[in-house]
Chains A and B, each alone.
Chain A
Amino acid sequence: MMEIVCPAGTPASLRAAVKAGAHTVYCGFADETNARNFPGLNFDRQEMREGVAFAHDHGAKVLIAINTFPRAGAEALWYSAIADAERAGADAVIVADLGLLAHAARHHPGLRRHLSVQAAAANADVINFYGREFGVKRVVLPRVLSVPEIAAIKADTAVEIEVFVFGGLCVMAEGRCSLSSYATGKSPNMNGVCSPATHVEYHDDWGALSAKLGGYTIHRVGAGEPAPYPTLCKGCFTAGETTGHLFEDPVSLNAEALIPQLAKAGVTALKIEGRQRSRSYVAQVVRNFRAAVDAHAAGLPMPQGMLASLTEGQAATAGAYKKTWR
């Protein structure tokens, strides 16, 4: 059966996800070592130990994301996160940085290593390189590949494949995007944040609501229309004669319908994005995906459209998986 990997931004979410049927939960420490470094989110050391113990008691695993790029001159913070993850009993760490992987492989050889999506490993050769050099056992694929491309990768590697199936959608290769720091000074790679809320402003322009990020107006909706969060790559821009969502529409990813194809492609684990989401959201998504993989494992038809109401702005896409980009 395919493994469901669920986000947990707080200890309460972790418990909710485990109770809802998550095989695995991923979370991070409350500092800049993880790519969801939001106020009020994530785990201190004790909460992490308790969360891992709770999950293990319920037969679930915990992965700890240490997936930002250590700051020059301050790598000790990231090294201690790796050591504390091992001490807390984590089943694996999710790492993106080459130097940090080398450190973990050398100093914590018994700690299982997954390659974060932030490493944007998009072909079998580089995945095998990470496997060979650093003993990486699993790779989280960037959200820029189609299902046939994923199948082709799996055909050429023994490293396990994990793919995102639900939640936020990056259209840029992850870990290789500095749009956010260009506009706001804060980036996913360096600060663990993208298009941060601290830099968002909403303005009422003659009845229309404008959303600005870092002073750039990238959304405008009429009175009463839902205003999407101004994430840079999903903003509204003008190029040539065209004004619109030039990079991606304000949609989120929902690949639940592709579970059978992803299973056939050899995918080991399905990942749900959203450590910043509420525990009730997490529990609902987990229940539905667990039902879907259980149905698939039992040879039953896929339940359809369960999660439509949970997707951002009510619009969802299968992203690159359906090959429409190519």
Chain B
Amino acid sequence: MDLTVGPNQFFWKAEDWASFYDSLATAPVSRVVLGELVCSKRLPFFQDRIPAAIETLLAAGKEVAVTSLALITLKRERKLSAELVEAGIEVEVNDLTMLAYLPEKTPFSVGPLVNVYNEGTLGWLAARGATQVCLPPELPLDQVRSLARAGADMRVRIEVWGHGRLPLAISGRCYHARLHGRTKDNCQFACEDDPDGLEVSTLEGQKFLAMNGVQTLSDTFACVDHQVELLRDAGVSALRLSPQTGDFAAVCALYRGRLDGRVSRGGVAAALLEAYPGIRLSDGFLTGATGAEWSGARSGAKVEA
């Protein structure tokens, strides 16, 4: 299995953004998707850094794609999205609007925010030019298996959300702005202060979600440490690692080590919890009863018993 680094979901300062992609040049991943996914207002702050990042990654032998926005509404966003096709780099479609701009027979990839739940949809997208599809994170393992099997017949590589806060919802309303008593048009970029999202907890102080402008994520960081063999057996081609602050190249190396057998089952989770104290992990969408569940917690309980 290969590793893909998905687009950064958060709003980072331009220099942090640029050095992140510099650091990926030497990270053990084969594919990088970059660009702005969540909010078009963020783009002007780092847009001029994108060409250099692409060049660096291509020179390092990585496959590179640029993402579309997750929710395209405004005229400006439509224009921006149409122009993305002309850049000459593979586009990762995260809003089906992109299909209105992509010429027939132009190969493209499909991101996790497009609803690919079944073989019919996968087949339609494959016929239209999709070569790689990252499945929606909420899909359980048995459906991943069905789709990976179908993908093999259609020559579409199937990717699964492997690591990082889960994208759970996207809205026309900006919650960071709302929290600060502002509207979306006058947000004053409140999301910039939360480079991994802002923690949202329940009335009992239980950590639950993370706010990221118009996007809502899980508090937990998805981690497929315990499902690597199952996913490989299912025929999954790649795992997606979603950017976060800290030494992300080290996170990539952990997963690469796990795929190559140099890190044992449970080793990725243990190393993550040590490197990022206080974070919580989940893998429930794949094998649990709810998305928030973590099978590491279950096996831990067994050991104690």
- Which of A69, A75, A246, A320 is within 8 Å of B172, CB to CB? A320
- Which of B179, B184, B198, B203 is within 8 Å of A219, CB to CB? B203
In the docked arrangement, what's the CA distance between A121 and B125, Å?
A: 17
Contact A145 B201 (CB under 8 A): no
Contact B172 A144 (CB under 8 A): yes
Measured CB to CB, the closest approach of chain A to B38, in angstroms, equals 12
Number of interface residues of B (CB under 8 A): 70
Chain A residues with CB under 8 A of B218:
182
Contact B291 A125 (CB under 8 A): no
Residue from A96, A142, A181 having most chain B Cβ neighbours under 10 A: A181
- Which of B137, B138, B142, B203 is within 8 Å of A238, CB to CB? B203
Contact A240 B179 (CB under 8 A): yes
Residue in A closest to B70 when the chains form the complex, CB atoms = A176
Contact A103 B138 (CB under 8 A): no
- Judge whether A233 is part of the interface by a CB distance below 8 angstroms: yes
Residue from B115, B175, B185, B201 having most chain A Cβ neighbours under 10 A: B115
Q: When each residue 55-76 of chain A gets 1 if its CB lies under 8 Å from chain B and 0 otherwise, what string results?
A: 0000000000000011111010
Q: When each residue 127-146 of chain A gets 1 if its CB lies under 8 Å from chain B and 0 otherwise, what string results?
A: 01100000000000010110
Contact B169 A172 (CB under 8 A): yes
- Judge whether B66 is part of the interface by a CB distance below 8 angstroms: no
Chain B residues with CB under 8 A of A124:
78
In the docked arrangement, what's the CA distance between A243 and B218, Å?
A: 18
In the docked arrangement, what's the CA distance between A173 and B291, Å?
A: 19
Contact B95 A126 (CB under 8 A): yes
- Judge whether A300 is part of the interface by a CB distance below 8 angstroms: no
- Judge whether A122 is part of the interface by a CB distance below 8 angstroms: yes
Residue in B closest to A233 when the chains form the complex, CB atoms = B169
Contact B171 A173 (CB under 8 A): yes
Residue in A closest to B166 when the chains form the complex, CB atoms = A182
Chain B residues with CB under 8 A of A177:
168-170
Contact A123 B146 (CB under 8 A): no
In the docked arrangement, what's the CA distance between A247 and B142, Å?
A: 33
Contact B216 A72 (CB under 8 A): no
Q: Give me the interface of A with B, judged by CB distance under 8 Å.
A: 69-73, 75, 96-100, 102-103, 119-126, 128-129, 142, 144-145, 149, 152, 171-173, 175-179, 181-185, 187, 189-190, 210, 214, 216-220, 233, 235-240, 242-243, 246-248, 320, 324-326
Q: A75-B119, A173-B172, A183-B208 are in contact. List 11 more A-B contacts (CB 8 A).
A: A99-B123, A144-B71, A145-B73, A177-B169, A185-B289, A214-B290, A217-B203, A238-B200, A247-B171, A247-B216, A325-B183
Give me the 3 closest cross-chain CB pairs, A-B, nearest first.
A99-B120, A144-B172, A99-B121
